[in-house]
Structures are given as structure tokens and as C-alpha cells.
A = this chain, B = another copy of it.
Amino acid sequence: MSKILFQAFKSTNQQLNGHGKRNAGVLKEALQEIDDDQESDIYGSGPLIEDFQDKMAKYLGKEKAVFFPSGTMAQQIALRIWCDQKGIKKVAYHPLSHLEIHEEDGLKELHHIEPILLADKDRVIELEDVQNMKEDISCLLLELPQREIGGQLPEFKTLEKISAYCRGNGVKLHLDGARLYEILPYYGKSAAELCSLFDSVYISFYKGIGGLAGAILAGEEDFIKESKVWKRRHGGDLISLYPYIISADYYFEKRISKMDQYYKETKELAELFQQCHGVSTKPEIPVSNMFHVIFHESKEKMEEVLIEIYEKTGIGITAYVNAINDNQCGYEVTVGDLYSQIPKNALRNLFELLDERMKGN
């Protein structure tokens, strides 16, 4: 059944989610203006990689930055360095952190670091969670927004208090900023202002930015120097990373100024869903370009409804739904370039149809 939904989604002309298909055209567009003679980076050296690292360090307000093939690698390494520095192999993060649920326990298996899970699964980490922690840790990792619960955020004041608490208690604060750009409109802060609360920061280039892959880790000079040694140990110091760097830079320039637009459109889209019978969103009011949609209908029934809507409207809402329980299912919304390409009347029509079908008409 899921496969049928996926196929129906692929056959639509327009989609609510994202920037478009992940295909070779994404790379080819980024390479269009690049000269054949453009020299490759070589094992982390050369102007192509160094200039981009400098640019991102400046954007994040940090001394230095290093480009990594993946965030998985960058973040394990950041935590390892902080643990080695303090001599305590414990860190704290949210129970639904990427490190805990998507990395096959790399942090434990490769680095023998024990994570302390803070807060309940369904809410973000608050100051009290940090203050009440009994264990002595080297580093606290905050993921902003907390993706797996629909992209929720603590208040900025809370971040300031957590940062001050950590600094006062010899705990490093690391930012999982896979979706950093996407939260700046809500906080009304620059990247550098937000990052000033953190000792180390990771950002990604294939979420809101829509590049191919790749990550930046930023921090003080010594920290970044050490991270390059670990990058080689992990097998991430490739002779050429330029396909990722060129596309990261290209799509950063193309989309960084559109984060405000995505944020506004996301709030608009969440309202459209909420106006439908039997549909809710998490969070109710989005704080970035993402949220979760919850359909109060079984996965099987919902797939039928969605396929019918795709066929009637030519607009794809989602390629999948995951069962939450027997009577609910859901999926993750990420607003990118595609949303604004859909005419408003087509959108209205789509949500009227969804509302009708959810009422059982």
C-alpha cells in the first residue's frame, strides 16, 4: 500500500514539501557556473574548501570552521573532543537526538561515550532538566529545532540561561544546528548571535539549504584543529569534497535569504491543515519551516484518501504516512521552494477536498 502512495505522489505535478527532486540536476545546476579549471580541494586544503570554511565561520561568528562530509561524523567528533578535554566520557542530549536514534550507536560503539537522555520524548529540554541532572557531563547537546517532535524550540531566554549555567559549571554547549537557518526568523536573531551561546556548532547543507550533502563544524581554533585529526581518523578527509562544497555554497547563496519566506509560508500551511476536519499539527504554531501533520485516521484509510486527492488535484501532500496508532498517522512537513509555486486557488481547492474526505464525504 505504501508503495502505491509513493507512486501516486511521484506522479503529481506539484508538491507541498521541499525544494524539488533529489536528482543529478541538483548537482549540475550548482556546477553550471563553475569553470572546468576550478582546482579541487586536496585532503582538506586549497582555496575552494578554505574559503568556504572561512565564510561559514564568519557567518556563525566562530573563529574557525571545517567542512565535513556528514553531520553524523561532525557531531560525534565534537562530543569526543569535549569529552577528552574534560576526561569524562558522558554527554547529555534529548532522547530523540539524531545521535540516539539514527546513527547505529556510533557515539557509543566508536567513541565509548555514554549519553544521558534529558527531558521527556515529547518536549524540548528546559533549564530545569539541565540543573537537575545528577551526572557530571562534558557536553550538553541541544538540537534546535527538535526535529522528531515536529521542530519545537525552547524560548531564547531559556537558551541564554542554559548557556550561562553550562559556562558556570564547566559544561560545554554544542548546537545541533542541522536546521539552524530555519529557526532564525522565529528567534529574530542572526546566526552569530545564536551561536555565541554555544561552544561548538554543526550546520547542514541539505535540509533548508537543499544542497547535496555535507556539514560545517565551527568553534575555536584549537577545537577545529583537533576536529581535523578526527576527521581523518573517521575516513572523512577525502581527497576531493568539492561536489559537496560547491553545491553547499551555491544553494546557501540561493536560499539563505528565503528563510523568512519559508517560515511565513509554513505557518500559513499549518493553518490550512488545522482548518480541515480530523487534522492537527505539532507544534500548533510552527517555529521554523517544519511541523508534523497528524491525521486522525488509520494509515490504511489515509493512504486511500491521499491517493484520491493526488489523482484529483495533481498536487502531492506527502510520499508516506507513518502509523502513530490504530486511529492516527502522520508525516513531516518541510516548506521549501515548491510551496510558493502552487497557485492559491489550487491550494484552497486541495484543502477543501481534504476537509471533505476527512469528514467522510
Residue ranges of A at the interface with B (Cβ–Cβ < 8 Å): 21-28, 31, 34-40, 42, 68-74, 76, 103-106, 109-111, 206, 212-213, 229-230, 232-244, 246
Contact = CB atoms under 8 A, between A and B. Distances in A.
A246 B104 contact: no
Contact of A69 (B37, B38, B74, B238): B238
A110 B212 contact: no
A70 B239 CA distance: 9
Contacts of A232: 72, 103-104, 106
B36 A236 contact: no
Copies in the complex: 2
B22 A37 contact: no
A22 B36 contact: no
Given A73-B235, A235-B73, A27 B23 contact: no
A73 B213 contact: no
A72 to B, nearest CB: 4
A230 B71 CA distance: 15
A242 B292 CA distance: 30
Given A69-B69, A104-B229, A110-B110, A24 B236 contact: no
Given A28-B31, A212-B243, A236 B70 contact: yes
B235 A72 contact: yes
A360 to B, nearest CB: 35
Contacts of A25: 36-38
User: Which has the most chain B C-beta neighbours within 10 Å: A34, A42, A229, A243?
Assistant: A243
Contacts of A104: 229-230, 232-233
A70 B235 contact: yes
Contacts of A239: 22, 206, 212-213
B233 A236 contact: no
A233 B110 contact: yes
Contacts of A21: 37, 39
Nearest to A238: B213
A40 B22 contact: yes
Q: Which 9 residue pairs of A and B lie closest in terms of their CB atoms, listed nearest first?
A: A73-B235, A25-B36, A106-B233, A243-B243, A72-B235, A24-B38, A70-B235, A22-B40, A213-B238
A212 to B, nearest CB: 5
A26 B240 CA distance: 11
Contacts of A68: 235
A76 to B, nearest CB: 7
15 contacts: A22-B42, A22-B240, A23-B36, A23-B39, A28-B34, A69-B69, A71-B235, A74-B235, A104-B229, A104-B232, A110-B234, A213-B238, A213-B240, A213-B241, A243-B243
Contacts of A28: 31, 34, 36
